[in-house]
Structure 1
Amino acid sequence: MTDLAPRELRVIVAVAEGRGFSTAAQALGMTQSAVSHSVRTSERKIGAVLFDRGRLGATPTPAGAAVAGHARRVLRLLDVLGAEARGIAAGPGSADTVSGPLRIAAFRSAALYLLPPALERLTARHPGIEPVVRMVRELGPGTAGEVLDGRADVAVATLGTTSPLPPGLVGGVLLEEEYALVHPAGHAAPRSLPLVDWAENCTSYTRDWWAAQEWIPRATVEAEDDGAVLSMVSRGLGMAIMPALSLRGAPDGMDITALGPDRPTRSIGYVTTPEQARSLAVRALIRELRAERGVEAVSDSRKSD
């Protein structure tokens, strides 16, 4: 068993985030030599080099990056442990009292449209919870990577059989999100328009469908996010194929057309660690997110068949 104290874990995290021993020392109120000694002791206990030391600082090795992620998660669990224990010790009926920060990672459309009503109900029922929401692009590790790295307690993520959860995480589907064609209002032949796309669109959950559609041209315009895509479409610059959450609050000047019975969908779900899945705050948020299942369809009067 690797026996690391919380103080040693905090040092590892501080060095990883500050990319240097002196920066970590300033953040922790320690001397640089004490930080260096702590890291060497941790490396000896673990049996692996955690940082590449260089003239420009300290860069986590692959082992160091993994250890820093575990360290963040352990330190967070210690915080949760204390908060929940104090709630239980307060007396009968107080075990459901949840307090403290709840760190949430979400991609843009989920943060804009799925989270707010869930958080409104959550904080009404548990006023002590302090949601801290970070918007993360759903590229590479995406929102699930934030949980894996210990930077978030729970994430709203895109899920799929070809995009499995990283090992060590758990999750569940909250809703199935349909894709639709969005185009300038009143256009007689929207499928003939240029394609406007963005990097987070058309990943593994739609790739097969996308490849089979001969009418879809190669994108002539790529934007940084779905909001920019919608703005461009509303200005008549092309058409786009977008998921339902992105189409909520779509600007004027465009129509939304269904893609037919074989339309693609993507699964939106929650992702967390097995330990956080048992925590009161995460369980409470998941309950509120599940209550949003009935509003996943695009409820827009401009949508047509």
Structure 2
Amino acid sequence: MMTTEAPLSPAPVAIGDVQVGPGRPVYVIGEIGINHNGDIEIAKQLIEVAAAAGADAVKFQKRTPEISTPADMRDKPRSTPWGEMSYLDYRYRVEFGMPEYQKLIEHAAGLGLHCFASPWDVPSVEFMEEAGALTHKVASASVTDLELLRALAATGKPVILSTGMSTIEQIDTAVETLGTGNLILMHATSTYPLPPEEANLRMITTLQERYGVPVGYSGHERGLQISLAAVALGAVSVERHITLDRTMWGSDQASSLEPKGFEALIRDIRILQEAMGDGVKRVFPGELAPLSRLRRVDA
């Protein structure tokens, strides 16, 4: 008789009152990012879209523009709905301050959602701590920012680390800096929009086996198939950009899901996770009638 020994599953990570890990419901994050275009009413509408779709959390991006904007980009002209301005002024134009974040976190909590952000610099970590975020996300672009990672580790909060545009050696260093005790990795490929041939979903298993932590998927593709395949491969969390309308102005809108698409994704994730089962072979109740009707020889 053949026997196989199953690998140990990573321990779940607690984000507030939610356990994120194998065997738990997939933790779905609606990535609002900067798709609100600096308008708090649009941000609130996107939170409501995420809640109506059945998401668990929404995420924004928080920057201190004079720190996080590369020096060679600051004075470059940017055409915007508010006229032409420097890239630095544009970065300020789409940032929310503390009053706005407190309103957004409160609005999300009232709808049963976690609300947090990807801080892009150390002052933004301190800002989100003061705002009361339950967790922090590391954007793929920040994997090599060890000062930022050390500041995030020092909060003691769970950290969700995206791994796009990074080598395995860079991820090794990031994980060593953050520690594995309160860490969720997100497989990602930072191509917008993501072509299927660059999705490399088998990295979900690679990351889990290499680091022994829960692994999710952050997607930038059009459509739903790749995100659903990620769940089938064991992703414990799925993050997708959301928008009110993909034709809205902004660099992330075209690779985002509109409300109906996000709702369909979460519906299908829940069905798929239920369908995955536990891997234990049994005769199910629905099989009993066909069994008695069709099988001629009992074992």
The two structures have a TM-score, normalised by structure 2, of 0.24
The two structures have a TM-score, normalised by structure 1, of 0.24
Highest CA radius of gyration, 1 or 2?
1
